[in-house]
Amino acid sequence: MENIILGGRYELLEIIGEGGMARVYKAHCRILDRIVAIKILKEEYSRDKSFVEKFKTEALSAARINHPNIVNIYDVGQEGDIHYIVMELVEGRTLKEIISDEAPLAVERAVDIAIMICDGVHHAHEKGIIHRDIKPHNILITDHGMVKVADFGIARAISNATITYGNNNIVGSVHYISPEQAKGETVNRTTDIYSIGCVLYEMLTGRAPFTADSAITVALKHIHDEVPSPRKINPDIPVALESIIMQAMQKNPRQRFASAQEMRNVLLGINMQNSEEYKLKRRNENRMAGAPKLFEGDEAVKKKKKLSPVGIAIIVIAVIGLLSGVLLSGGGLFGKEVIVPNVEGMDYKQADEELSKVGLVMSVVGKEYSSEFEKDAVISQDPGKDRKVKEGRKIEVVISKGSELITVPNITGIDIKDAVTKLGNVGLNMGNIEKVYDEEKPEGMVISQDPARGTKHEAGTSVNVVVSEGKQPDRVSMPDLKGLTIDKARTVLEDNKLVLGEIKRQESTSYVADQIAEQDTEPGVMVEEGTTINVVVSTGPGPQVKTKVLQFKLPSDDVTMNVKIIVSDLQGKRTTYDQTHQGGDVVYTSINYYGTGTAEVLINDKTVKTYKLN
């Protein structure tokens, strides 16, 4: 990989790490002039489609997350057979290295780390992502003490049915795996909470909750064995903190904390309860460790240094005076208590002023995008409003970076279904869909979009599109269906490449039962091939019978001739008169008909006259 430049901008400098699937390189981004980390899929996996998809899933999952306690993903790309992800380079050590060198960690430090892990994981959960592989190896601690959760390589969307077995192998590190993962069952956000409990256990004891000679045995212990008491290994662990670990590591997911945020809030309470006691204990230990030792036989010196009753009295009076001065000045023995004001929603400068008024110090612990809070406004504070705290206490706040602006991707030239997925992956919505005929674009292809690609808009913005319906079909003249039966109408429509649609039935005095009385498109109208035509069929009673008298004189030829009258009306075609006459006779007859029609006079089977019936 020496002298390789990826994407025309990332110059690989040196390898800094290696995992099961990928190697991590330190690299220089020539465009932004910054040092980054690049994860490159190993050559033996780059030709395997399943591994490549898994690698891409890591990038797509992590790229949706932006949080101070999660390693940022800057870019993802492919160059030939090289698949890579560009990430934030974190200067520091893994939590696994810190545990190996320093465990057991101090209670306050371990809890602080766990709180920041919970913050990052909760943010990912809110974005629909489960990490599924929380372990000390995937947690980076910067030189300034900031926790960064890394490697979402096997993260999946919560909405998917997630099974932890792939190619018959358990996914996730076995020493931190949840019982449901070990059994290959569906996972949810409490799966990560179980793993956080395992990590906290190891920070405080220096060992994983379950160990064995084989991975399968460890997995079985997660499923069946009770968690060993961490206080038996490290008595400095408070009882309440042990209870938190035990709740996080419950076998039944529903008995764990409902969210990483809930676990974080309980851990905050532990730190507040134990911080002063812990600090005092450590100060005493340090003082004792640094105190000078008396030489053997110096008991006389000890006795000489005992204070006289008068000396003791003077000291007591001085202490009483000191305490009186503190109390009269409005403070308590351990400092004055103040009420925390509500600064959420305020501009951070105003919030700083409000906190300063009551002797509190604002500490910015993170910045997040927010569509609810304006840029530079306080999103949240800890401790919260109306809490009683000591003067000088730091109030941790998260500041809004304003609405997250998302670059609209190009969705023209792709199928509408793929366009919906592509927009959803970046946090945008599909808006109005207008369909038009296009001689060149296939049906379903997006022809244009608004807003245009490359523009930046807030998350949740709708993108309107114009979609091709394909080539416009030919047009035909609508046939007259009135008076036809359903079967006959269907045949006529099919001959014209039209489709019979909805059939309703209602009374009609114009058409007899089972004849079509109405059609939703009038005869003669030009319609597109494939158009659906809805009709109304008569249930009767139909038109009343009418009578018409016909009178006409036959030609004067001196011959015998046959005379017929054929009536065509709503009841069909029928012969109503059939007689033999001499030339010159006058024919006088009446006929019955229904609705409208014709009466046709034939002499020797040749039509000589037609009467309209109406």
Q: Which long-range contacts (C-beta less than 8 Å, at least 24 apart) are formed by 95-99?
A: 95/136, 95/137, 95/139, 95/140, 95/141, 95/147, 95/199, 95/203, 96/135, 96/136, 96/137, 96/139, 98/136, 98/141, 99/136, 99/202, 99/203, 99/206
Closest by alpha carbon to 567, among 542, 545, 538, 540? 545
Q: Is 198 helix (H, G, I), strand (E, B) or coil?
A: helix
Cis check for the bond before 228: say yes or no (omega within 30 of 0). no
DSSP assignment letter at 255: G
Alpha-carbon distances of 447 from 245, 431, 464, rounded to whole Å = 55, 14, 11
Residue 131 near residue 155, CB atoms below 8 Å? yes
Closest by alpha carbon to 570, among 549, 548, 597? 597
Closest by alpha carbon to 552, among 506, 612, 601, 503? 601
- Of the candidates 48, 75, 133, 143, the residue annotated as catalytic is 133
CB atoms closer than 10 angstroms to residue 392: 11
Residue 81 near residue 180, CB atoms below 8 Å? no
Strand partners, 564: 578, 602
DSSP assignment letter at 445: B
Q: The tokens of 265 are what?
A: 């809030």
Give the rounded distance of the alpha carbon of 56 from its chain centre: 17
Q: What is the DSSP string of 183-194?
A: TT-B--HHHHHH
Residues in contact with 603: Cβ distance below 8 Å, sequence separation at least 6, in sequence order: 554, 555, 561, 562, 563
Which phi and psi (to 5°) does residue 353 adopt?
-65, -45
Residue 468 near residue 442, CB atoms below 8 Å? yes
Strand partners, 548: 591
Q: For the chain, how are helix, strand and coil distributed in percent, rounded to 5?
A: 30, 35, 35
Residue 145 near residue 204, CB atoms below 8 Å? no
Closest by alpha carbon to 269, among 238, 248, 235? 238
Annotated active-site residue 578? The verdict is no
Report the C-alpha gap between 134 and 197 in whole angstroms: 10
In this structure, the chain runs to a length of: 614
Amino acid at 464: N
Q: Is the dihedral of CA 180, 186, 192, 193 positive or negative?
A: negative
Report the C-alpha gap between 428 and 461 in whole angstroms: 5
Report the C-alpha gap between 126 and 260 in whole angstroms: 10
Alpha-carbon distances of 314 from 302, 306, 542, rounded to whole Å = 20, 14, 125
Give catalytic residues, as residue numbers.
133
